[in-house]
Amino acid sequence: MASIPLRKLLAEFPQLGLTLLSGQAGLEQSIQTVDLNRPGLALAGYYKEFASNRIQVFGRGEYGYLCDCSNDQQCCFLDSFFQYSCPGMVFTHNNRPPISVLERSNQHGIPVLVTHLSTHKFTLMYSAIMDELLAPEIEVHGELMDVFGVGILLTGDSGIGKSETAVELIERGHRLVADDLIHIRCISETALFGFPNPMLGHNMELRGIGIVNVRDLFGTGAIRDRIRIDVSVQLLPWEQFQDTDRIATNHYRDILGVRIPELWIPVRPGRNLPVLIETAAINHRSQRMGFDAGSDLAQRQREQIRRNMLASRDYQPGENNA
């Protein structure tokens, strides 16, 4: 299971506005879930379903209740609360916790942090960050392109022409995200996002030429660092492509449990692959807007067949229609 140390959140995400108050010894504790917990029931003494594996968020309600408690009540709560090894405590709205909380956090090595953000804003921002950091990830060989704003994952056998096709697309004004090795993350369990390999960056290998840097050759407008993957395009040798697949519209590819449309494009000398991929991207955008040429044609064919059948039933041989 993926995990993130609390120290990483504190150091690399200033937008969360986190400041460490105490419990520095626990900054290496791992966070393994995107969920947060507001310990309202714990303040009342109910721990049966206490989610101790989550960051504990003290909003205005929890903070106000804690401050209104007597010293004995605070001690009773803190004795019970710090028996659980939670990854950390965050006080929102820039509310500073009582000194007793800071003392206990140092004793137990549980970090206490404060943020100026409201509870709602902190929750939204934290969840978005952790969704990406803890997302399941795989690596796929191919090309990842931004074509008219559509994320195209281009795959196929080695030597079939993926890199050459990508270069032609770049020359036509589209953008490269990753070449050869693509990092794919499933974020929020519904969307696939692709990233370049940190080592390879936006370098590209072209047979007969070697390694080229797309940013240096074509400028920063020819690259981007991430994109949502909308369509998978698989390049196939012409002899492997079947005539029965010519108008297929129901091919899908499953990546990390998310299904995306997949197109099979046969390759042979003379075919203009960049134009075909551009057409695929435009067609995908059209389908997202509710226009599907294939479905529309099939519907018109069914209507014509129905009209022909009705006409044949109404026709009576031998009748004089003059």
Q: Could you give the residue numbers annotated as active site?
A: 141, 162, 180, 246
Helices 162-171/273-288 angle, 10° precision: 70
CA 183, CA 179: separation in Å to the nearest integer?
10
| Radius of gyration, alpha carbons of the chain | 29
The owner of tokens 């393994």 is: 32
Distance of CA 212 to the CA centre of its chain: 28
SS3 229: coil
Q: Is 171 helix (H, G, I), strand (E, B) or coil?
A: helix
Beta bridge partners of 155: 234
Token pair recorded at residue 128: 């978005």
Report which of 123, 134, 29 is spatially closest to residue 85, judged by C-alpha positions. Answer: 29
Range 158-164, long-range pairs (CB < 8 A, 24+ positions): 159/207, 160/235, 160/236, 160/237, 160/267, 161/235, 161/267, 161/273, 162/235, 163/204, 163/205, 163/206, 163/207, 164/206
Residue partners of 94: CB distance under 8 A and separation at least 6: 114, 115, 116
Alpha carbon of residue 89 to chain centroid: 27
Phi first, then psi, for residue 71 (nearest 5°) are -60, -40
